[in-house]
Structure 1
Amino acid sequence: MKHYYTDNTDLISEPVVFQFDYRGHILKFTSDHGVFSKAMIDYGSRVLLDAIQADETKATLLDVGCGYGTFGVCLKTVYPWLKVEMVDVNERALDLCRKNAETNNIQDVTIYKSYIYENVEKSFDLIVSNPPIRAGKEVVHQILEKAYEHLNENGELWIVIQKKQGAPSAKSKMNEVFGNCEIVKKDKGYYILKSKKE
């Protein structure tokens, strides 16, 4: 069986298009089989998008496991000064991500294939992720641990994770790595966790 966190371009393609209102901006997304949350922006991602704030001290953002571009497209729309990079291991997701950036007139973004941070060369002011829980704890913890070396000083890691799918474990790992972890928001079992590189 093919999963959204693997490269699965050989799946049947039946694209779906939907709209998403993010802070007064009506955005249009195309999705398809083989990507996470095919039919709509998932609830956890919505909770993170509602919670996250960025001011102009934050200039760069990396979306790890970007899927069809939810975080990168939404946050670049609201914070147009951000230079955004989006990475995923799934070629179909990356193709959709490029399409969705173009559809929503998102420029100054870089979208490329990377297993977690494997092909990421820069460091950033913000890293965001809705980690692929089904890929296993080891993958999730790699996203959390290795974020540290890809953040600038005062950079922030923001993630969304359900309590029952490992939020306490993720919080513990982020505390271990960063020396801090704030629960920014809890909503229907979803935790928004933030760590700062101090």
Structure 2
Amino acid sequence: MEHYYSQNPSVSHDENKINYKLNNIELEFITDAGVFSKKKVDFGSDLLINSIPQITGEILDIGCGYGVIGISLSRLFPSAKVTMIDINERAVDLTTRNIKLNHANNAGALQSDGFINVTGMFDVIVSNPPIRTGKKVIYPIFEQSINYLNANGSIYIVIQKKQGAKSAFDKLESIYGNCEMINKDAGYWILKSTKFV
């Protein structure tokens, strides 16, 4: 069965436009079949976006889908620089189009399986990870993330309690030596770990 985390979705295109209001910012996103949450901005991503504190540095959005998290943060924090990555070619194409659509001039997107094509270091990493891929895919991303964070940089993850939030908390704590739940709502947890040096 094909999933939104497939590298080259073969499902027929079914493009749509959705609107998303963030504070006083009106955003619009082109979505398509073969990408996650194509009919509306999902609850978890919205909660994550609204849980991130002020950022001025480099942001990496892993598993960006059609770009809602990274583009939202780029508009919220115009002095930051946002890089968005996804394994899904269709998602990256949509993100690139949505960057232009929303005038997110401080954002860019590229295709990458995990960190394979990522260069540079970041102050913040954010992700609404594709939990259904399983721990064998998700946990290596957690493990490698610390190598791409600057000193005192943080990773923020959204995950549902019923989909393994507690084990994700424990995993992040084992990697970083710390993890905190900074927000929760409707069964979704926002986890934060920081690379202290």
- Report the CA distance between 1:108 and its aligned residue: 2.9
1:138 counterpart (133, 136, 139): 136
SS across alignment from 1:110 = strand
Question: What is the CA–CA distance in structure 1 between the aligned matches of 2:106 and 2:75, rounded to whole Å?
Answer: 11
Query: 8 Å contact 2:4–2:34 — kept in the other structure?
Result: yes
Q: Residue 187 of structure 1 is aligned with which of 168, 185, 190? A: 185
Confirm or deny that 1:173 pairs with 2:171.
Answer: yes
Instruction: State the shift of 1:123 in Å.
Output: 1.1
- How many pairs align? 196
Once the two structures are TM-superposed, the CA of residue 8 in structure 1 deviates from its matched residue by: 2.9
**2-side partners of 1:19 and 1:196: how far apart?**
33
CA-to-aligned-CA distance 1:24-81 (integer Å, 9 cap, x gap): 100000101000001011001111111111243xx10000000000111000001001
What per-residue deviation string (whole Å, max 9, x for no partner) do you get for residues 105-145 of structure 1? 11132211111111111110000000001111111111211
Instruction: Indicate the RMSD between aligned Cα atoms, in angstroms.
Output: 0.9
Which segments of 5 or more consecutive residues in structure 1 lack a partner in the other structure?
A: none
Partner residue in 2 for 1:25: 25
Q: Counterpart of 1:51 in 2: which secondary structure?
A: coil
**What's 2:97 paired with?**
99
The amino acid of 2:115's aligned partner reads: Y
| TM-superposed deviation, 1:152 | 0.3
Q: Is the 8 A contact 1:2 1:8 kept in 2?
A: no
Moved more, 120-129 or 2-11: 2-11
Q: Secondary structure at the match of 2:108?
A: strand
After TM superposition, where is structure 1 displaced by more than 6 Å over at least 4 residues in a row?
A: none
- Mapping 1:14-163, distance limit 5 Å: 14-56=14-56, 59-163=57-161
Quick one: distance in 2 between partners of 1:75 and 1:168? 26
TM-score norm. by structure 2 comes to 0.97
TM-score by length of 1: 0.96
